[in-house]
Amino acid sequence: MRCLCWLFWLALFPTAAHAASPITLCEGVWLDATRSRSVPVRIRMPAGREKVGVILFSHGLGGSLDAGTIWAHAWAEGGFAVVNVQHEGSDSAIFGKPGFKSALNGEQLAARARDIQFVIGELGRRLLEGPCDLQRIDLNRIGVAGHSFGAQTIQAIAGQSFPVKIEPPLSDPRLRAAVGLSPSPPLTGSPESAFATIRIPFLSITGTADAVPFVTPITALQRQQPFRLMPPGEKYLLVLKDGTHEMFAGQLFRTTLNGEPTPHIRNTVIATTLAFWYATLGHDKRALQWLQSPTGLRAGLPPGDFFESK
């Protein structure tokens, strides 16, 4: 089945969608001396010499720099610098070990948020990472995205509040927008209080089959809760029929069973997120109208999918 929203988006943004310009790929391991912590990064820089906005991506529990590859590549082709961040203590090194699910905790969440804050700071301090010219990054146009535990990380960075005051805060005023793929209720405390303080533009993406009961009891319906409880103001919710948790990781797996996204889910996530980034980091009025108009994105979705905004 063709995705009508994808075709409509191609008509609005043909240059970005078809450019497929060469992407410079760089990797490094940055040391946060204040925490004695190494933070691996993978950077994708779009072609050109002009200033570009930047998107940081946080992987889920047991993930790595490979998480979000599909999304990161599309965003870089769309004209953004993209930085995948790997989080020690909740990355692939723990996957398959006894008790690995215990890493899904507040301490690791805070460490992850500090990783994102650290990388943002380094992007403003470093000139180069290999052949990647970091001086091209416009630090006035910073977005963050994440999947699963990475989405919880993004929620914290975007302004989520916690039952116990955390100093310094996990939220970061340098951010302009956030995308949560498979977002979640808070680990502890009141969901109403947690999400009432997220005021920046936020796009939540989930599916009707977005659950991993062997890891967490969070249901697919509960993944809509962050959107429902955030205050109005450029908040969006995309729900895709039959979308599984693994599909939203945006990763290339060896097997396709419930792993890589279907063409429809892949194209719809790419189209929606790029429009969101253009609207929030690029101040593109056409993209904003496509997201918010009844005749825009929601009008092109097939039965079973739905999109809301407030």
Provide the b/e sequence for 229-261 (b: ≥16 CB within 10 Å). Answer: bbeeebbbbbbbeebbbbbbbbbeeeeeeeebb
Q: Is residue 10 predicted with pLDDT exceeding 70?
A: no
Average pLDDT score over the chain: 92
Q: Is residue 4 predicted with pLDDT exceeding 70?
A: no
**Domains of the chain with bracketed CATH:** 4-309 (3.40.50.1820)
Q: What is the pLDDT of residues 41-84, one digit of tens each?
A: 999 999 999 999 999 999 999 999 999 999 999 999 999 999 99
Q: Is residue 160 predicted with pLDDT exceeding 70?
A: yes
Q: Report, as an integer, the average pLDDT of 160-165.
A: 94
Q: What is the pLDDT of residues 100-140, one digit of tens each?
A: 889 999 999 999 999 999 999 999 999 999 999 999 999 99
Q: What is the pLDDT of residues 189-210, one digit of tens each?
A: 999 999 999 999 999 999 999 9
What was the pLDDT predicted at 254?
Answer: 58
Model confidence at 13, pLDDT cuts 50, 70, 90, reads low
Percentage of the chain beyond pLDDT 70 is 92
Task: Write down the pTM of the prediction.
Answer: 0.94
Contact 172, 120 (CB under 8 A): yes
- Which DSSP symbol is given to 258? T
């970091």: which residue's tokens? Answer: 134
* Beta strands 24-32; 306-309: pairing state: unpaired
